[in-house]
């Protein structure tokens, strides 16, 4: 692979705040030199490709520490409902999609991305609405949070959900007023899962083509390492095939969801366990402990505003969570736990502390467990996380996308403290930031903007005391993301010997006004020395 010399703009190494170099040299996919332009030129000859940055900024590529690339791949083929502002637009989108795809009764119509919080009707659609699109073709649309969705009458019949169907544990089906007849609404994993498992055989996609397109979504946002969180066996199979075919151009780290045949899955794909094979590895395991605060299904210790004593609810029992934690620790696997509400955070901390104490694994102290989302995590919980070496992976873009909703649902005191990044950094925790794609697009620079400014959609400051510095926010999407994957020795900073995973930005996020960070453009994304995306 040819040698390249980068010069002519800020080289932001991320080794320390305000640590810059004049030049950087790459060779054979790695960084060969970082330092003065004079010394860099001495290492080069006439065959070296010289890249003049023309004042643009070179820095480490971004690392996605939590997301669902399988969903990004699959759902790109579904009807996009993310811009819908009322039921009429949802109907219009679905009818147009149905006509375009010419779906028949043997197929299925899938949609994704509606958000009841931003619909004129201020509620979820139901089967009577979707039946206006078709009462014969099964239809299922998923909420942008992925924690809830709605099916039409044909979908309910296909899934065998009727008035005699009980609510699953840690989930529920919506009912028509005054009866047990299902209205099409499904809430949380076990209820949604019944819909999706029924739909799956009817969804005909070329997943290898979908995976190729999904990688472009990450690359254009400057991301060269991403996650497939809560992966199913089919997802692991798809990415193992992509790896075998040599079609992965970014690194993908899978975290299979625990339950059922976890052991068999790890055994079958043992070659990928913690070791990249053609850019795919299994990084550990994942559990989901509650829902979403914007959907009022996150499990809280104090009630939601205006909801009486309702605090959301757990997805699993304490005994189940302990069992999963113990199994992961005994296997030597990193464990990720989805915890939006502080009651869910309590449950995970209690279970992990006890499981680690009980485990005989001699390496149990070094597994870097991760609490995913951390939306309402308290200071005392962050203190416990520090003692456990637990990583907070914070969905800080909530401050913008749903900040106004959180202020309404949680009240000013709790709502203002959503995504408490400042508190986490102050405790020395290895904080990272994610977007949970496909919940929102993997726009890392917008996430940095959110963490630094903390402003809602309606331009209301939300918890300014939880703002972090630009450098801290950049750490959270580079070196701290690498740390979460046990890859801090090969990614996350521009240092000699590390992979040449880099991006060129239109402006330097460290020097532009903080309100302009979200407008910075990714000009190039470089994976192991090769330009994989260019504006």
- Given 202, 234, 251, the domain boundary residue is 202
The residues near 304 (Cβ < 8 Å, ≥ 6 apart) are: 296, 310, 311, 312, 409, 410
Query: Mean pLDDT score of the chain, rounded to an integer?
Result: 97
Mean pLDDT along residues 397-411: 98
CATH code for the domain of 161: 3.10.310.70
Residues 130 and 236 in one domain: no
69, part of any domain:
no
Alpha-carbon gap, residue 433 to 394, rounded angstroms: 5
Residues found in the chain: 535
In DSSP terms, 228 is beta-bridged to 68, 254
CATH code for the domain of 11: 2.30.40.10
Residues 268 and 406 in one domain: yes
- pLDDT(428) > 80: yes
Residues 44 and 114 in one domain: no
Question: What percent of the chain has a predicted confidence (pLDDT) above 90?
Answer: 96
Number of domains in the chain: 3
In DSSP terms, 182 is beta-bridged to 175
3-state secondary structure of 145: coil
- pLDDT(155) > 80: yes
Residues 437 and 535 in one domain: no
524, part of any domain:
yes
Cis peptide bond upstream of 385, omega within 30? no
Could you tell me if 239 and 252 are in contact, meaning their C-beta atoms sit under 8 angstroms apart? yes
Q: What is the pLDDT of residues 61-119, one digit of tens each?
A: 999 999 999 999 999 999 999 999 999 999 999 999 999 988 888 999 999 999 999 99
Could you tell me if 99 and 119 are in contact, meaning their C-beta atoms sit under 8 angstroms apart? no
Q: What is the pLDDT of residues 184-230, one digit of tens each?
A: 999 998 999 999 989 989 998 999 999 999 999 999 999 999 999 99
The pLDDT assigned to 261 comes to 85
Residues 367 and 427 in one domain: yes
DSSP label at residue 168:
P
Measured N-to-C along each axis, helices 233-244 and 207-219 cross at an angle, to the nearest 10 degrees, of 80
Residues 175 and 297 in one domain: no
Mean pLDDT along residues 125-153: 96
67, part of any domain:
no
The pLDDT assigned to 360 comes to 98
Residues 226 and 339 in one domain: yes
Residues 126 and 223 in one domain: no
Residues 257 and 334 in one domain: yes
Confidence of residue 1 (pLDDT cuts 50, 70, 90): confident
Burial class (CB in 10 A: 0-12, 13-18, 19+), 263: exposed
- pLDDT(375) > 90: yes
Residues 151 and 263 in one domain: no
Extract the tokens encoding 74: 């699959």
Q: Residue 23: give the domain boundaries.
A: 1-61+492-535
Mean pLDDT along residues 142-158: 95
User: Which helix (H) or strand (E) covers residue 260, if one does?
Assistant: none
Mean pLDDT along residues 301-315: 97
């Amino acid at each position: 692979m040819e040698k390249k010399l980068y010069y002519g703009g800020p080289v932001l190494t991320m080794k320390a705040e305000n640590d810059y170099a004049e030049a950087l040299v790459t060779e054979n996919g790695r960084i060969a030199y970082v330092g003065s332009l004079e010394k860099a030129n001495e290492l080069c000859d006439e065959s070296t490709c010289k890249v003049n940055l023309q004042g643009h900024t070179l820095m480490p590529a971004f690392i996605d520490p939590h997301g669902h690339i399988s969903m990004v791949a699959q759902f790109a083929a579904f009807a996009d409902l993310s811009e819908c502002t009322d039921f009429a637009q949802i109907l219009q989108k679905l009818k147009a999609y149905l006509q375009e795809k010419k779906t028949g009764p043997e197929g299925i119509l899938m949609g994704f991305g509606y958000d009841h919080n931003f619909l004129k009707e201020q509620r979820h659609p139901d089967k009577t609405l979707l039946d206006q699109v078709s009462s014969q073709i099964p239809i299922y649309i998923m909420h942008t949070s992925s924690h809830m969705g709605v099916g039409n009458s044909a979908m309910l019949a296909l899934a065998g959900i009727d008035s005699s169907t009980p609510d699953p544990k840690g989930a529920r089906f919506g009912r028509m007023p005054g009866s047990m007849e299902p209205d099409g609404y499904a809430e949380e994993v076990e209820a949604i899962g019944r819909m999706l498992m029924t739909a799956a055989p009817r969804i005909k996609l070329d997943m290898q083509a979908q995976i190729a397109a999904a990688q472009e979504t990450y690359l254009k946002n400057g991301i060269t390492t991403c996650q497939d969180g809560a992966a199913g066996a089919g997802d692991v199979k798809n990415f193992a095939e992509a790896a075998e075919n040599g079609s992965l151009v970014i690194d993908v780290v899978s975290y299979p969801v625990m339950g059922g045949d976890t052991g068999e899955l790890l055994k079958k794909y043992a070659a990928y366990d913690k070791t990249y094979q053609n850019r795919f590895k299994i990084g550990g395991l994942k559990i989901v402990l509650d829902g979403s605060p914007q959907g009022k299904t996150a499990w809280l210790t104090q009630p939601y505003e205006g909801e009486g004593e309702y605090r959301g609810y757990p997805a699993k029992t304490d005994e189940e969570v302990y069992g999963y934690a113990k199994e992961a620790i005994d296997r030597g696997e990193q464990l990720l736990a989805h915890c939006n509400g502080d009651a869910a955070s309590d449950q995970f901390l209690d279970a992990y502390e006890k499981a680690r104490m009980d485990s005989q694994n001699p390496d149990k102290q070094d597994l870097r467990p991760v609490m995913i989302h951390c939306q309402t995590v308290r200071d005392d919980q962050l203190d416990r996380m520090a003692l456990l070496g637990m990583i907070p992976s914070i969905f800080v873009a909530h401050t913008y996308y749903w900040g106004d909703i959180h202020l309404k649902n949680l009240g000013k005191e709790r709502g203002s403290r959503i995504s408490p990044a400042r508190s986490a950094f102050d405790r020395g925790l290895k904080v990272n930031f994610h977007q949970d794609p496909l919940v929102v697009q993997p726009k890392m620079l917008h996430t940095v903007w959110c963490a630094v400014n903390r402003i809602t959609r309606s331009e209301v400051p939300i918890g300014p005391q939880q703002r972090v510095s630009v450098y801290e926010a950049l750490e959270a999407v580079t070196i701290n993301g690498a740390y979460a994957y046990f890859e801090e020795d090969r990614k996350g900073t521009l240092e000699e010997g590390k992979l040449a995973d880099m991006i060129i930005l239109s402006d330097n996020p460290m020097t532009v006004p903080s309100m302009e960070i979200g407008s910075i453009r990714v000009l190039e994304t470089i994976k192991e020395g090769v330009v994989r995306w260019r504006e």
